[in-house]
Chains A and B, each alone.
Chain A
Amino acid sequence: MATDPPSDTSDDTPPPSPREEGLLGRTTDAVTGALTDAAAGVGSLIGGVAGGVAGLAEGVAGRVVRSVDELGETTLRLGVTGLARSGKTVFTTALVDHLLRPDRLRGLAAVAEGRYRAAVLRPQPDDDTPRFDFEAHRDAISAGTWPRPTRRLSQLRVSIRYTPKSFWARQLGDTRTLNLDIVDYPGEWLSDLGLLAMDYAAWCRAVWPLLEANDPAAAEWQALTRATDPAGPQDEALARRLAGGFRAWIVGAAADDWAVRRIAPGRFHDPGDLAGSPLLTFAPLRPDAGEPGRETLWRLMERRFDSYKRYVHTQFFKAQFARLDRQIVLVDLPGLVAQEGAGLGAFTALLDDVLRCFRYGRAPWPWSLVSRRIDRVAFAATKADLVPSDQHDRMTGFLDALLFAGMNRARFDRAAVRTLALAALRTTSEQTVRRDGAAHLCLRGRPEGEAEEVLHHPGSFPAGPDHLGDAAQFRPLAFAPPATLGGGRALPHARLDHALEQLIGDALT
């Protein structure tokens, strides 16, 4: 858990040098930025302690206020954890849609036993977070298209009313309410959680080997980075050029290289209001130049890296992830395998970094009032509809092997863990095809960008990460959502009900 903001930057306040005076227009930014950083650094020592106490008090007060507000209601925060294109938005949309319309949730015990009454969307608790645009995403899916990639953080609350299972609970009130808060965010931001554990030097050491592979698109920036002396002066223009090149590189390469994604600061992808701020104007420097002195470019970058970490820690991690009760981890296994295992190790490392940031288990009683931990986790191999169901066991086994370390830690911390092959929105149906004297279970659906349905057999899913030699035998086809999803019917899914049973089934008893 490396979540404490660094507090050792107070002695690096740069007095404005004559050279910088001369370049007033361009250096003002750097100076004010540095001063701000320094002030923040001084404050953080005291603030670290005071903030801890204040945070605790705030936590208690917040919970008390909320408890009075929602007397008799349970609130769970569900974390949907998945890297970019793992299907977070589709999962969240489908989840909410099914909760509102539970016709196809037989695997959810409350529904099967007839205790599930109804669910509605309610205003979310955090007023400063945008609302998850459920209706727009649902419409996009009904129209046969996928929702667009998520660009910002958003939140939604679903309130479920149900009849308790136990006789005594029913005597207290015939129904109860469960509020489920779900957060959607760009998957690129997750790699920031891995950065929280590094300092600037470690980060540079992690980035440096990746520059060895010559990327023609980023050749100029790579050359510049290699040539830049970390002990050089704090040149803002140089810093901006370096950061710009760095950003172009990670945004360009991030699409296919997990190793780059692992070290890529998430906000570089879609800076929004932060574009051009010192927070996002840093880049890696040569890590082997020895101990750099004060007022060097290295110190400048280091301060900004630390500021970035602090920003991520407060804005993203503390606000969203430190308070989760339940978690589902989505992994686009068919997509990962279809890359024939390229960067599988880097992917696992990245996801493992992310999973290390969460606290699992159950706090003992007095602490459970203020501290929240994730006590139920579902690990889902998503897009199971791209694999025939007779091979879903292999998907589950593959995921078990891939994320063994993370699952094991969660299990050790007494969280309930379950693995499943999941399709939040099922785009295919199944049909057996006789071919060359053997029966094959095939997928039937409409490939993306085409008008007509096809029957498709993707081949054999590899039995595990160490069987990736077989990956060439597996070729999934990208299907579009079926065209007939409107009309008020529940969306087709695969095991979303089991996922829900794992995540909130115990809260609906």
Chain B
Amino acid sequence: MTQPFTVKAPPLELPEPGDASVAADPLAVAAPPLNPALTPADEPPAARLGRRLLWILGGLVAAAVLVDLASIGYGAIVQPTATGIAWGLVYLAAVACAAVLIGRQVAAIRRLEAIGMIRAEADGIVAGVPTGGSAGAAAGELFGELDRLYAQRADTAWSHARYAEARGDAIDAGDRLALFEETVVAPLDARAVEAITRTARRTAVFTAISPFVALDVAVTLWRAVILLRAIAEIYGARASGLAAMGLLRRVLGQVALAGGLEATHEMTTELLGGGITARVSTRIGQGVVNGLFMIRLGVGAMDACRPCGFRRVARPKVLDLARRSLSVLRQTPAA
């Protein structure tokens, strides 16, 4: 691009106090915050609540592990065999591994940038003036953030370049955001959907064949966290604030439900003496439940990690994804 040859002196007036029309001038210099000490504390209450939920979740998992350990340990005490003790050790090692793996995933997610502010700004712009040309200070900041997130990444550089080519046409912030969604975000959506269906399928199949309650819970939890991380990485940012808390609560609820359902079913089959078919169909039902949960969680994560809401691109439907990924279970009962 050639450099400008002439710059005409802009006859701009300085903002005058009390003049509303001048104050509305987007070119006016933004005033610094009055008192930096008055800025809100770093940690919002939502994050604190989220941490508490994390503790509760950890406690729940620990409880599940203890239940399993107790049953294994009871067997080892009543009939102390080498096999029983070995099982116990293996189990402990597996649980420790799972804890480490999950912890690393969570840490990786925490390293990504929170996207909540960008989302809020984008939604504000869309909700604001749909026609006016207010590519004002807020919009400029928003698009700067988006560029920072996606222009340098190798996997989005190409689509971002296409967006950068066309964005001169989109003068209004709403138009530009729509263009961004179509060119840059839509390919990421496709990848996120792919990740969701893959995870859902694997979770469903594993749940259908897993032998232990706690293992089931741990693997589901692990996969959920991996999925969250994958989606966050696809969009280059993690959910923050309330969205993150919502996701966490969803994971928590599902884990509790999975454990509870499993225990109940196990007990009923024990009591009623169901045959192998009943047992298998129960496991498959559990697989479907966990797969569906994974899809719902994934779509929620997409919603939370996306830099803008679903406007031009349609939100993926849970049922469509379920049909695509969970049909694999239909073949399983025959086996």
Binding site for B on A (CB under 8 A): 104, 106-107, 112, 384, 389-393, 395-396, 418-421, 429-431, 433, 435, 437-442, 444, 452-460, 463-464, 467, 470, 473, 475, 477, 492-495, 498
Cα distance A76–B180 when bound, in Å? 33
Rounded to whole Å, the gap between the CB of A342 and the closest CB of chain B is 19
Chain B interface, >50% SS class: loop
Given pairs A454-B5, A459-B10, 6 additional interface contacts (CB within 8 A): A390-B26, A393-B134, A455-B7, A456-B8, A494-B171, A498-B131
A393 near B12 with CB under 8 A, answer no
Rounded to whole Å, the gap between the CB of B175 and the closest CB of chain A is 6
B131 near A420 with CB under 8 A, answer yes
For B179, list chain A residues within 8 Å (CB). 106
A438 near B168 with CB under 8 A, answer no
B4 near A444 with CB under 8 A, answer yes
B13 near A473 with CB under 8 A, answer yes
B25 near A460 with CB under 8 A, answer yes
Contact A390/B10 with A112-B312, A452-B5 known, Cβ cut-off 8 Å: no
Cross-chain pairs A/B with CB under 8 angstroms, 10 sampled: A106-B179, A112-B312, A391-B25, A393-B134, A418-B131, A437-B29, A455-B8, A456-B8, A460-B13, A477-B8
For A418, list chain B residues within 8 Å (CB). 131
Contact code string B18-41 (vs A, CB < 8 Å = 1, else 0): 000100111101000000000000
For A475, list chain B residues within 8 Å (CB). 11
For B4, list chain A residues within 8 Å (CB). 431, 444, 453-455
Contact A106/B135 with A454-B4, A495-B172 known, Cβ cut-off 8 Å: no
From B12, B21, B24, B171, A459 is in contact (CB under 8 Å) with B12
From B11, B133, B169, B170, A393 is in contact (CB under 8 Å) with B133
A442 near B26 with CB under 8 A, answer no
Rounded to whole Å, the gap between the CB of B27 and the closest CB of chain A is 6
Cα distance A430–B171 when bound, in Å? 10
B5 near A440 with CB under 8 A, answer no
Cα distance A419–B132 when bound, in Å? 9
B5 near A453 with CB under 8 A, answer yes
For A107, list chain B residues within 8 Å (CB). 175
For A392, list chain B residues within 8 Å (CB). 132-134, 171
A457 near B134 with CB under 8 A, answer no
B169 near A106 with CB under 8 A, answer yes
For A453, list chain B residues within 8 Å (CB). 2, 4-5
Cα distance A437–B10 when bound, in Å? 13
For A104, list chain B residues within 8 Å (CB). 169
A435 near B133 with CB under 8 A, answer no
B7 near A454 with CB under 8 A, answer yes
B132 near A393 with CB under 8 A, answer yes
Across the A-B interface, give the 10 residue pairs with the lowest CB-CB distance, nearest first: A392-B133, A457-B10, A463-B21, A454-B6, A455-B4, A390-B26, A459-B11, A393-B132, A389-B171, A389-B133
Binding site for A on B (CB under 8 A): 2, 4-8, 10-13, 21, 24-27, 29, 129, 131-136, 168-172, 175, 178-179, 312
A442 near B133 with CB under 8 A, answer no
Closest to B139 in A: A390
Contact A435/B10 with A106-B179, A389-B135 known, Cβ cut-off 8 Å: yes
Contact A492/B131 with A454-B6, A457-B12, A477-B8 known, Cβ cut-off 8 Å: no
Rounded to whole Å, the gap between the CB of B70 and the closest CB of chain A is 60
Rounded to whole Å, the gap between the CB of A480 and the closest CB of chain B is 15
Cα distance A49–B132 when bound, in Å? 48
B135 near A390 with CB under 8 A, answer yes
Interface centre among A106, A429, A492 (most CB of B within 10 A): A106
For A467, list chain B residues within 8 Å (CB). 21
Closest to A113 in B: B312
Rounded to whole Å, the gap between the CB of A492 and the closest CB of chain B is 7
Cα distance A495–B11 when bound, in Å? 27
Cα distance A454–B2 when bound, in Å? 11
B10 near A442 with CB under 8 A, answer yes
B133 near A473 with CB under 8 A, answer no
Cα distance A475–B27 when bound, in Å? 17
Cα distance A392–B131 when bound, in Å? 10
Cα distance A467–B19 when bound, in Å? 12
Cα distance A439–B27 when bound, in Å? 7
For A439, list chain B residues within 8 Å (CB). 27
For B132, list chain A residues within 8 Å (CB). 392-393, 396
Cα distance A229–B175 when bound, in Å? 64
Contact A457/B5 with A106-B178, A463-B21 known, Cβ cut-off 8 Å: no
From B7, B29, B178, B312, A433 is in contact (CB under 8 Å) with B7
Rounded to whole Å, the gap between the CB of B66 and the closest CB of chain A is 56
For A420, list chain B residues within 8 Å (CB). 131
Closest to B134 in A: A393
Closest to A393 in B: B132
Cα distance A84–B25 when bound, in Å? 31
Contact A460/B12 with A112-B312, A421-B133 known, Cβ cut-off 8 Å: yes
Cα distance A452–B312 when bound, in Å? 39
Rounded to whole Å, the gap between the CB of A407 and the closest CB of chain B is 14
For B169, list chain A residues within 8 Å (CB). 104, 106, 492-493
Rounded to whole Å, the gap between the CB of A356 and the closest CB of chain B is 26
For A430, list chain B residues within 8 Å (CB). 168
Cα distance A467–B24 when bound, in Å? 14
Closest to A420 in B: B131
Rounded to whole Å, the gap between the CB of B19 and the closest CB of chain A is 10
From A106, A393, A440, B175 is in contact (CB under 8 Å) with A106
Closest to B169 in A: A104
Rounded to whole Å, the gap between the CB of A496 and the closest CB of chain B is 10
Cα distance A454–B132 when bound, in Å? 26
For A106, list chain B residues within 8 Å (CB). 169-170, 175, 178-179
For B12, list chain A residues within 8 Å (CB). 438, 440, 457, 459-460, 473
Cα distance A431–B7 when bound, in Å? 11
Cα distance A390–B28 when bound, in Å? 11
Rounded to whole Å, the gap between the CB of A56 and the closest CB of chain B is 40
Cα distance A484–B168 when bound, in Å? 16
For B129, list chain A residues within 8 Å (CB). 393
A455 near B134 with CB under 8 A, answer no
A390 near B136 with CB under 8 A, answer yes
Closest to B129 in A: A393
From B27, B170, B312, A441 is in contact (CB under 8 Å) with B27
Rounded to whole Å, the gap between the CB of A433 and the closest CB of chain B is 6
Contact A440/B171 with A452-B5, A454-B8 known, Cβ cut-off 8 Å: no
Contact A440/B134 with A107-B175, A454-B7 known, Cβ cut-off 8 Å: no
Cα distance A466–B11 when bound, in Å? 20
